[in-house]
Structure 1
Amino acid sequence: MRRRLFALLLPLAFVAGCGSGSATEDGKLAVVTAFYPLQFLSERIGGDQVSVSNLTKPGAEPHDIELTPRQVGDVAGAGLVVYLKGFQPAVDEAVAQEGKDHAFDAASVVSLLAATEDDDHEHETAEGGMDPHVWLDPVRFATIADKLGERLGQADPEHAADYKARATALHAELDKLNTEYATGLKTCARRELVTSHEAFHYLADRYDLTEVGITGISPEAEPSPQRLAEVARTAKETGTTTIFFETLVSPAVAETIAREVGAKTAVLDPLEGLTDSNADYFSVMRANLTAITTALGCTA
């Protein structure tokens, strides 16, 4: 039914968005992004040469968003659409229908890295699916930044050198963040990260941690009693002191496990969207690092 409704809305969406074109009235490249981390990359690399809009509203949970007709029109009229295929079905569908000729798929960079490093199996969750949260690994996120800089240059050749320079500068900042994580998590009393949502496989893999997720890829999934018992048993065996929950989902399940094992709860943000207008990717990642080092008893 949803697909039929989507098809019926497409003509209306095109009318709603056709006036925007691939550039804004002031000549900037119109870039449409799927959710916050890709918005962050696009704004930092695009600079003053682009006008960036985000399909996921601030504070909204991005996995299951539905697009309005105007948003589908924005996808059609953008100079570049930046998305992560497989993460948001509604965005995937809009890109396939309206934006595939002017889209940058961050997942294609992840696939290329996985093929090169032969490590794609390492990011399967307990449910057997793939963890899409690649932006939580600063090293991989830096490579996506490089490729996005190149793609922006293709869409707007006049400013290609500017995009490349900003991508290079951002890569250096992400390298610094990676060093901070590697140093901070080198020596810890524990290395098990108990989380409400299996969103941290890439981060855990990069820094030799083990993620124990209460639920799988979908943060709104209900864990089975067997899974709850298994996580509680693991938490007790490893001496876990902190059960992490995330910003955009109820902490109830994490609190249940914490009470059972005598642990506390704390926020670990998967950075799918911002809840604080004064925060950005780097400030949230550094807050995450502080939370992890405290919970795992790490010493720099």
Structure 2
Amino acid sequence: MFTHNSRVRTRLLPLAMAAALVACGCGCGARANGGGKPVIAAAFYPLAWLAEQVAGPGFYVQNLTKPGAEPHDLELTPRQVIDVGESKLAFYVKGVQPAVDKAVRQHAKGHSLDAESVVRTLPAPQDEAGDGAADPHLWLDPTRFATVATALGERLARVDAPNAAVYRSRAAQVVTRLNALDAEFRTGLRDCARKEIVTGHSAFGYLAERYGLTQVGVAGLDPDAEPSPRRIADLTGLVRRTGATTVFTETLTSPKTAATLAQEAGVRTEVLDPAEGVRPHSHDDYFSIMRRDLATLRPALGCS
């Protein structure tokens, strides 16, 4: 499973301390904005967004990752570990955030939903594939994300049976919107001069598979990984051979490596957002991010 080996440190509180904190309950530090509502602990932005759409106002959705933070770097506070354990549902993607994986495994095993468990996953890039390693960026395929929305609606229907029809209805509405987004991408990327998308890190495998593109990642799944000089030289040659005009950087990670490749290859850079998070005070949401990505891809790939 994808663990971001040397970069991510999962400093969770010792089990004995965690047990003591859980035992004292909410009185040890009340949640800031729960308002007494049942809580969905969502690991990072796209899951928090989806949970808000499907759960509606009856739940408080707690995003464990602060706005503007790179989700792969998350280290949970003791309070957040308690919140995961006390939540009605812990909603996450296994393999993105080892700290969340550990908190769920230890404190929320019976009330969690791993989005990866309800869709067909893609393997991690070949250079990172361990035993059963999967690419976790499934939300970048709207059709897979629609499947997750349906599964979330069903899970909430079991959590709050008297309102089951409401959650299923909200999930169906989200699915309709995601299917419309998928149609926009299929139309917009149907006739393109180029198929290769050269990205700062390998976050766009699901998007590439869905729309007939080929992802070429400068780094692997770890956005902070430093490719070797040999890798940069190989990619420079590939960019030139394919006629690619653009190397894509991202919003929450350093553009340095991708910019180096672009300079070596004599091409430009553009931002392609993996929708892993939004900046503080941003008015973006999942749909606006995805549509902006489509608008960025079309000229870069020479789409008619």
Matching residue of 1:273: 277
Which amino acid in structure 2 is aligned with residue 291 of structure 1? T
Alignment counterpart, residue 184 of structure 1, candidates 179, 188, 201:
188
> Are the structure 2 counterparts of residues 190 and 17 from structure 1 closer, same or farther at C-alpha, using a change threshold of 3 Å?
farther
Change in 2 beyond 3 A, CA 1:2/1:253: closer
**CA, structure 1 residues 32+238, in 2 after alignment: closer, same or farther (shift >3 Å)?**
same
CA RMSD of aligned residues (A): 2.0
From the two aligned structures, give the one with the greater helix fraction.
1
Query: What is the CA deviation profile of residues 3-58 of structure 1, one whole-angstrom value per residue up to 9, with x for unaligned ones?
Result: 6843254135425754579xx555x3211100001001100001111111111000
**Structure 1 spans left out of the alignment, 5+ residues:** 115-119
- Quick one: which of 84, 88, 97 aligns to 1:79? 88
The equivalences for 1:54-133 within 5 A come to 54-110=63-119, 113-114=120-121, 120-121=122-123, 124-128=125-129, 129-133=133-137
Identity of aligned residues (%): 50
1:195-234 aligned within 5 A: 195-234=199-238
| 1:128-139 to 2 correspondences below 5 Å | 128=129, 129-139=133-143
Structure 2: how far apart are the matches of 1:248 and 1:16? 36
Give the structure-1-normalised TM-score: 0.91
Q: Where do 1:275-294 residues align within 5 Å?
A: 275=279, 277-294=282-299
Give the SS at the match of 1:197: coil
Maintained 8 Å contact 1:214/1:228: yes
Between the aligned partners of 1:220 and 1:50, the Cα distance in structure 2 is 35
Q: Secondary structure at the match of 1:172?
A: helix
Correspondence for 1:43: 52
- Matched residue of 1:212: which SS? strand
- Give the unaligned 5+ runs of structure 2: 1-8
* Distance of aligned partners of 1:273 and 1:69 in 2 relative to their CA distance in 1, 3 Å threshold: same
CA contact (8 A) 2:11 2:99 kept: no
Aligned counterparts, 1:231-250, within 5 A: 231-250=235-254
If the length of structure 2 is used for normalisation, what is the TM-score? Answer: 0.90
Letter in 1 for 2:88: G
Structure 2 CA distance for partners of 1:229 and 1:16, relative to 1, 3 Å: farther
Q: Give 1:117's aligned residue.
A: none
Change (3 A) 1:225 1:6: farther
Q: Any conservation in 2 of the 1:125–1:201 contact (CA below 8 Å)?
A: no
Contact in 2 for aligned 1:49/1:159 (Cα 8 Å): no
> Which one-letter code corresponds to 1:6 in the other structure?
P
Asked if 2 retains the 8 angstrom alpha-carbon contact of 1:31 and 1:79, the reply is: yes
Q: Output the CA distance in 2 between the equivalents of 1:136 and 1:107.
A: 13
Change (3 A) 1:13 1:262: farther
Indicate how the Cα distance of structure 1 residues 288 and 17 shifts in structure 2: closer, same or farther if over 3 A, else same: farther
Instruction: Count the aligned residue pairs.
Output: 289
8 Å Cα contact 2:138-2:145 kept in structure 1: yes
| Cα 1:7/1:170, change in 2 over 3 Å | same
> Which amino acid letter does the alignment assign opposite residue 170 of structure 1?
V
Q: Deviations for 1:91-145, whole angstroms, at most 9, x for unmatched residues? A: 01001111111111111112xx35xxxxx45x54543353210000000000000
Please state if 1:33 is matched with 2:42: yes
2: CA distance between counterparts of 1:217 and 1:257?
A: 17
Q: Deviations over 1:255-278 (max 9, x none)?
A: 111111111101001111112520
Residue 166 (structure 1) aligns with: 170
